Amino acid sequence: MARRRSRSEANIWPGFVDGLSTLLLVVMFVLSIFVVAQFYLGEELASKDTELARLTARINSLAEQLGLAQSERDQLQAQLLSLETTIADREAELATAIAALGAAQSAVAASAEELEAEKALSDDQKSEIATLNAQLAALRKQLASLQEALEAAEAKDLDQQTQIENLSQRLNAALARKVQELAEVRSRFFEALRNALGDRDDIKVVGDRFVFESDILFGSCSATLSDAGQLELIKLAGVVLDISDDIPSEINWILRIDGHADAEPLGPGCRQRFRDNLQLSAERAMSVVRYLASAGVPERRLVAAGFGDDQPMVNGLSAAALAQNRRIEFKLTER
């Protein structure tokens, strides 16, 4: 009996060893499959991340270079943000799938039945990854469409810039012509005004202005025109009316009257009528405007301003310097 039992045990042992070897081979084969799958999946994900990063960098570079209108730029940026959010979601799903694969690998050694279950689970996840890859391909197509839109917007922007440059050149040429025409009119105005007023030391041309000393037009501490001042302004009004017919109609010209006072403080009696030199200079300029308007110069062509004693013509407090700084300036200019 002992010899028979020994022979039976010897017959069972090789079969058990063969079964165990087969199980180990299956386990090793499945582990190898998962390792290779994980390697290629990692390579594919890294390639996709690199491609997405390159596309994103390219899109950002194009967006920075383009001078798009604000509404178009906001729309494109919103589309980019939506795509980036979708890609981030897809990457999160891929990461979840990879994590699930790792968990499946840790449970391979449980049993042959569990290996079959894990294999079926891996097939499901591969199917899910294939779906995600298809979605990524669709996203790439959207990115390509977006790039085409950006290129079209860039071409449109270049065309608009060319048009703007052409318009700017035409506008500059037109402005230069107007400036030249106004300069010619101003030169004739100064010449006619010199002839009308005669050679006087208290009336002079300074740059682009005709300057009257205030003593010609007003008495001391007064904003009321003197009779002599009215006579001089009648001459000036006649010259303005004559020269206005020669000014091109497209030039929106004005005659600016600036009042200036000297640096002497107002006396007690003068302060009862005027708060300070600024008010005195402004009131004198307004008196000139009113008189020229009454003489026929259109009011829309007249502008008055008062500067007080802030812009002296000459330095010093001598009687001659103060007289020159008390002045009314006339400037023929464009509105």
Which CATH number goes with the domain that contains 264? 3.30.1330.60
pLDDT exceeds 60 at position 121: no
Amino acid 4: pLDDT: 53
Question: Model confidence at 69, in pLDDT bands (50, 70, 90)?
Answer: low
What percent of the chain has a predicted confidence (pLDDT) above 90?
A: 26
pLDDT exceeds 60 at position 2: no
Instruction: Please say whether the dihedral angle defined by the alpha carbons of residues 182, 187, 190 and 193, taken in this order, is positive or negative.
Output: negative
Contact in structure between 305 and 278 (CB atoms under 8 Å)? no
Mean confidence (pLDDT) of the chain: 78
Contact in structure between 83 and 142 (CB atoms under 8 Å)? yes
Average pLDDT rounded to a whole number, residues 231-237: 91
> In whole angstroms, what is the distance from residue 306 CA to residue 331 CA?
14
Amino acid 301: pLDDT: 92
Domain that holds residue 305: 182-334
> In whole angstroms, what is the distance from residue 179 CA to residue 250 CA?
12
186 and 149 together in one domain = no
Domain boundary among 114, 140, 157: 157
Question: Model confidence at 119, in pLDDT bands (50, 70, 90)?
Answer: low
Is 177 within a domain? no
pTM of the model: 0.47
> In whole angstroms, what is the distance from residue 97 CA to residue 91 CA?
10
pLDDT digits (tens, 9 = 90+) for 249-299: 778 889 999 999 999 999 888 989 999 999 999 999 999 999 999 999 999
The number of distinct structural domains making up the chain is: 2
27 and 77 together in one domain = yes
Is 128 within a domain? yes
76 and 197 together in one domain = no
Please give the C-alpha separations between residue 254 and each of 206, 264, 295, in angstroms, as whole numbers.
Answer: 18, 31, 16
pLDDT exceeds 60 at position 213: yes
Q: Which is higher by pLDDT, 173 or 94? A: 94
Amino acid 289: pLDDT: 96
Is 47 within a domain? yes
77 and 212 together in one domain = no
